[in-house]
Structure 1
Amino acid sequence: MIDALYIATSGLQSQQTQIDTLSNNISNMQTPGFKSQRVSFGDIAVISPAEVQAGLSPQHTGAGTEITSTSSVFSQGQMSQTGNTWDIGIQGEGFLEVVDGNNNHLYTRDGQLHVDSGGYLATTTGNRLAQDIQIPPDASNIQINQNGQIYATVGNSTSQTLLGTFELSTFPSAEGLQSVGSNNYMPTQASGDPSVGKPNDSGVGSILQGSLEGSNVDMVSEMSTLVIAQRAYQLNARVLQASDQILDTINNLRQ
């Protein structure tokens, strides 16, 4: 019965992680560029040392479940028009590279940009684009084409000036990126190193000015999976309670 306690406990911990992940997905349904996360489970197997020492073929005994990984799903979110100058929607697999306050290079799909106090393009969290694109304070009539080129009329000039060009980064396996919060991701060995390209390059994607990519969270799918996870949590709690009651009965019999 001791084994039942450990098995039920592992189930409770795993389902709690599942519930937390699903709840985070649902709470970010309206977050631009947010990518839903999925939890992968694995079985815990125990091998008897006595069987190994005796030269017997070891039998794997189930000892519960564990979380093997939590990964993001990078399917395309729906585009919506905002009309805002610095809102850019990414159609395709590319990421914007940004630099945080600790000089870490992170990657995001959130295209809600603005011009910060230094004149540089930055995200809503204050992270500047790694390209250090600076916008003159007297820039007007700003146009961003699908190739990522930023044109504007500067000062009293009657012609448009190229202020910079957006770059997009792609990964061999984006599912291996590690979420670090605030809609930002960090490369890992599983994701591979980033490749930098221009918008509209093959496999990189294009940029739409005045649009934002919405969250790819499917409310129906998330809610149905959440109900299943809550039911699984309750069942594991019942197993834990029943095991405790049986152990209590056994202890009373010995007295």
Structure 2
Amino acid sequence: MHAALWISKSGLDAQQTDIATISNNLANASTVGYKKSRAVFEDLLYQNINQPGGRSSQNTELPAGLMLGAGTKVVATQKEFTQGNMLTTENSLDMMVEGDGFFEILMPDGNIAYTRNGQFMLDEQGQIVTPGSGYLLQPTITIPQDAQSITISSEGEVSVRQIGQAENTVIGQLTISNFINPQGLEPMGQNLYTETGVSGTPIQGNPGLNGLGSIRQGALETSNVNVTEELVNLIESQRVYEMNSKVISAVDQMMSFVTQQL
């Protein structure tokens, strides 16, 4: 079998993965707090026919080798945690992390997940939860039933104005977490990430302190997907896919010519 067939096949497989990654970015262009992904490629093992520096005679060496590549593959999909734009909503339970850090979410199994999506709601007990699944924001904060307004400072202090009171009452303190390698976090859907062995342990603290981002109430962080850039990447991947298909077609014609002539 001609080697170019297998090389081009690996190129087709890699470009299919790249296009799937791009399509997921475009599908989440309006998802709050979404971080775009990119495919990471590597070339495959080489067949060393002549090693560079090998002896060509008793007194001479080969200045360059003869090595045939075996194609390419996708080895990773890398998340880019650049800051998204700010969308002002004026909703008191909408929060945005301005800078580094993640909101902490308590999962049903007792583990902690992390998110950049600051869209929150209240459950039947007045606790702040995620809108899609009702998972509790950590630390747990319960809003009193007679609260007329909710104020969240840039440092994460939560206070409410209750009926008959002139001053706000502090009811809780938000904390956020950051990681030395956020790209090592595992995305699990629902805008949530979980800690892995390569992400490092969470560095928890109050917003605005020790390098952590601050909280912006009444605003949300939009997706950091640049639609124009993704469309350009899509066109490029499509053309590379077509060229690999062309190689397979060309090799097929060459083999057909040989079989017909011999």
> TM-score w.r.t. structure 2 length?
0.86
**Equivalents in 2 of 1:175, 1:118: separation in Å?**
35
**Residue in 2 aligned with 1:54?**
none
**Residue in 1 aligned with 2:12?**
12
**Equivalents in 2 of 1:130, 1:252: separation in Å?**
72
**Residue in 2 aligned with 1:169?**
177
Percent of matched pairs sharing the same residue: 37
**Equivalents in 1 of 2:257, 2:139: separation in Å?**
68
**Equivalents in 1 of 2:184, 2:23: separation in Å?**
21
**Equivalents in 2 of 1:60, 1:84: separation in Å?**
61
Pick from 224, 235, 242 the counterpart of residue 227 of structure 1. Answer: 235
**Equivalents in 1 of 2:8, 2:125: separation in Å?**
55
Instruction: Give how far 1:158 is off.
Output: 4.2
**Residue in 1 aligned with 2:101?**
94
Pick from 195, 218, 223 the counterpart of residue 215 of structure 1. Answer: 223
Instruction: Give how far 1:217 is off.
Output: 1.0
Structure 1 stretches of 4+ with a deviation exceeding 6 A read none
Mind listing any 5+ residue stretches in structure 1 that lack a counterpart? 52-57
Residues 104/235 of structure 1: CA separation in 2 closer, same or farther (3 Å cut) = farther
Amino acid paired to 2:7: I
Pick from 101, 120, 123 the counterpart of residue 127 of structure 2. Answer: 120
Amino acid paired to 2:36: S
> TM-score w.r.t. structure 1 length?
0.88
Matches within 5 A, 1:102-117: 102-117=109-124
**Residue in 2 aligned with 1:55?**
none
Residues 214/43 of structure 1: CA separation in 2 closer, same or farther (3 Å cut) = same
Greater CA radius of gyration, 1 or 2?
2
Does structure 2 retain, via aligned residues, the 8 Å contact 1:90–1:208?
A: yes
Amino acid paired to 2:91: N
**Equivalents in 1 of 2:5, 2:237: separation in Å?**
19
Q: Deviations over 1:186-236 (max 9, x none)?
A: 222322111001011021010011011111111221111111011111111
RMSD of aligned alpha carbons: 2.6
**Equivalents in 2 of 1:12, 1:103: separation in Å?**
42
**Equivalents in 1 of 2:46, 2:89: separation in Å?**
55
**Residue in 1 aligned with 2:62?**
none
**Equivalents in 2 of 1:26, 1:65: separation in Å?**
25
**Equivalents in 2 of 1:61, 1:130: separation in Å?**
54
2:223 aligned with 1:200, yes or no? no
2:64 aligned with 1:62, yes or no? no
